[in-house]
């Protein structure tokens, strides 16, 4: 497929270097996570796929602004998930997208008077460096929306062929868009468990177009946006255009992990409409009852009790914290001080406490103690984190650790929490 209005050559996405992930002593403890769809904590289905792997897909950034602590908290959550699975001996295939074609990116680029591709590339580079500093394990597959255009086109065509999509022509411009009806599956709404009124409110707030005339239902989601002047577009059998938001993740995930896989993750603001629709698109395309065994969502981060937002100008940026000399391991500990599912606070006091905690651990672990005592701590650490990533319990346990033996506990802390206790 070729470009209609994109003049640059696509560059294949690459992730960031893999950090050291030490082996963790002791017996595996099966991971349990809260599933938004089933609304309970339950064991993760780690049955390997045909490649012997457990699949995890986490929605990536739309690269129009720097990585703030709310973003970081989400990716740190799924870094913990990845680490528990690795420590339990599983092979993991981790996939993450980058929404490098989307309205917020275009709008920010126009506001700042820069090319949207240059803006996107600069923010992706910054995100990579932030993730590297925070010792986040990179995805094996790091895929931009532009890189996956052909995959999206194939899935849209499949949905059209299945009767799970319809065309809608704008009478003024004559441009045809393609939509997915919410009744393409019989279970729409199972993932988020929201009532209709809440769905409608979130849909309008989070990128939907409920007021578009001619849609079968106000909640129907855009699959393919027909070409408008000044917008990037690609040729397709159903006309030039660009992908909708949700279909991008459906295509990228299922083409690498299969029609069904273990975990789809992201921030809690993605539960609806994004995860609801990305699951529905995949299920309608492949006839599967459920795309992911677990839908896992991380809570939002506030600054000094006020929700972080671009409009309020109260975003805390990871690179600003590290430039100011804050230890990346302390930043991880500050995030882990609260449970990942909670909407929680960040403040200078919380960061100071995390830095003091890191120093306490270093002091405590400099004491050599019996191996059996250390293994007991490692076993309890495994148990705490296997229990829906109970980081507050894990941190309290390590605060009271009597010491270390041949760096066994230090290795477990780094392997399971990604926190480097050594200097």
Instruction: Quick: pLDDT tens for 37-63.
Output: 999 999 999 999 999 999 999 999 888
238 and 382 in one domain? no
Q: Is residue 324 part of a domain?
A: no
Q: Single out the residue in 273, 303, 333 at which a domain terminates.
A: 303
Whether residue 339 lies inside any domain: the answer is no
CA dist 309 → 65, 70, 225, 239, 264 (Å)? 12, 10, 28, 37, 25
224, 293: one domain: yes
Asked if 144 and 84 sit in the same domain, the reply is yes
Confidence of residue 267 (pLDDT cuts 50, 70, 90): very high
> What CATH number does residue 373 fall under?
1.20.120.640
pTM for the full model? 0.95
Question: With contact defined as beta carbons under 8 Å apart, do 383 and 362 qualify?
Answer: no
Same-domain pairing of 257 and 356: no
10 Å CB burial of residue 393 (0-12, 13-18, 19+) is middle
Distance (Å, whole) CA 289 – CA 279: 10
Q: How far apart are CA 55 and CA 291, in angstroms?
A: 11
Instruction: Answer yes or no: is 360 within a domain.
Output: yes
CA distances from 222 to 64, 134, 165, 238, 301 (A): 21, 35, 9, 14, 29
pLDDT at 106: 82
pLDDT, one tens digit per residue, over 102-146 is 888 888 888 889 988 888 888 889 899 999 999 999 999 999 999
| Residue 344 counted as domain residue | no
Domain co-membership, 161 together with 272:
yes
Asked if residue 263 and residue 116 are part of one domain, the reply reads yes
Looking at the predicted structure, is the pLDDT value of residue 382 above 60? yes
Q: Is residue 290 part of a domain?
A: yes
Looking at the 3D structure of the chain, how many domains does it have? 2
Residues 289, 355 share a domain: no
pLDDT score, position 108? 86
Query: What mean pLDDT comes out for the span 233-248?
Result: 95
CATH number, domain of 105, equals 3.40.50.620
- If asked whether residues 273 and 381 sit together in one domain, one would say no
Domain range for residue 359? Answer: 349-417
Same domain, 191 and 109: yes
Task: Let me know whether 48 and 130 are in one domain.
Answer: yes
Q: Are 42 and 289 in contact (CB under 8 A)?
A: no
Mean pLDDT of the region 212-218: 97
Q: Are 290 and 282 in contact (CB under 8 A)?
A: no
Instruction: Say which range, 118-122, 190-194, 213-217, 292-296, has the weakest mean pLDDT.
Output: 118-122
Nearest to 419 by CA among 139, 126, 136: 136
Instruction: Using the 3D structure, point to which of 239, 274, 303 is the last residue of a domain.
Output: 303
Gyration radius from the chain CA atoms: 22
Pair (184, 291) in one structural domain = yes
Tokens coding 90: 């599983």
Cis amide leading into 273 (omega within 30):
yes
Are the C-beta atoms of 392 and 344 separated by less than 8 Å? Answer: no
Last residue of a domain, one of 287, 303, 319: 303
- What dihedral do alpha carbons 246, 250, 256, 262 form, nearest 10°? 100
Domain assignment of residue 365, yes or no: yes
Q: Is residue 15 assigned to a domain?
A: no
Residues 165 and 226 in one domain: yes
């Amino acid at each position: 497929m070729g470009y209609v209005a994109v003049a640059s050559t696509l560059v294949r996405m690459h992730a960031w270097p893999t950090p050291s992930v030490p082996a963790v002593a002791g017996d595996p403890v099966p991971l349990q996570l809260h599933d938004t769809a089933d609304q309970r904590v339950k064991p993760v289905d780690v049955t390997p796929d045909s490649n012997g792997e457990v699949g995890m897909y986490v929605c990536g950034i739309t690269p129009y602004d720097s990585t703030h602590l709310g973003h970081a908290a989400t990716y740190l959550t799924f870094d913990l998930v990845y680490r528990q699975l690795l420590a339990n001996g599983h092979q993991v295939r981790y996939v993450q997208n980058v929404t490098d074609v989307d309205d917020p990116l275009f709008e920010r680029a126009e506001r700042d008077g820069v090319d949207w591709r240059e803006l996107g590339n600069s923010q992706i580079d910054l995100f990579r460096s932030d993730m590297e500093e925070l010792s986040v394990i990179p995805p094996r597959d790091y895929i931009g929306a532009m890189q996956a255009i052909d995959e999206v086109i194939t899935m849209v065509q499949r949905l059209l062929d299945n009767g799970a999509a319809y065309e809608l022509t704008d009478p003024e411009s004559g441009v045809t868009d393609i939509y997915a009806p919410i009744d393409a599956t019989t279970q729409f709404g199972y993932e988020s468990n929201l009532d209709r009124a809440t769905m409608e409110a979130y849909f309008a707030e989070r990128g939907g177009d409920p007021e578009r005339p001619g849609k079968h239902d106000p909640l129907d989601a855009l699959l393919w946006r027909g070409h408008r002047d000044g917008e990037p577009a690609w040729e397709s059998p159903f006309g030039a255009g660009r992908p909708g938001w949700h279909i991008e993740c459906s295509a990228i995930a299922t083409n690498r992990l299969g029609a069904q896989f273990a975990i789809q993750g992201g921030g809690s603001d993605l539960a609806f409409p994004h995860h609801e629709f990305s699951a529905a698109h995949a299920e309608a395309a492949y006839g599967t009852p459920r795309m992911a065994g677990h839908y896992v969502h991380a809570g939002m981060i506030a600054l000094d009790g006020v929700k972080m937002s671009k409009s309020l100008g109260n975003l805390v940026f990871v690179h600003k914290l590290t430039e100011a000399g804050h230890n990346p391991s302390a930043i991880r500990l500050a995030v882990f001080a609260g449970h990942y599912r909670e909407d929680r606070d960040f403040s200078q006091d919380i960061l100071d406490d995390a830095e003091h905690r890191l120093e306490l651990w270093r002091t405590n672990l400099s004491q050599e103690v019996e191996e059996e005592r250390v293994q007991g701590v490692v076993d309890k650490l495994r148990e705490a984190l296997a229990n829906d990533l109970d980081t507050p319990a894990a941190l309290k346990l390590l605060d009271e650790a009597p010491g270390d033996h041949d760096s066994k506990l230090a290795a477990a802390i780094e392997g399971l929490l990604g926190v480097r206790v050594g200097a």
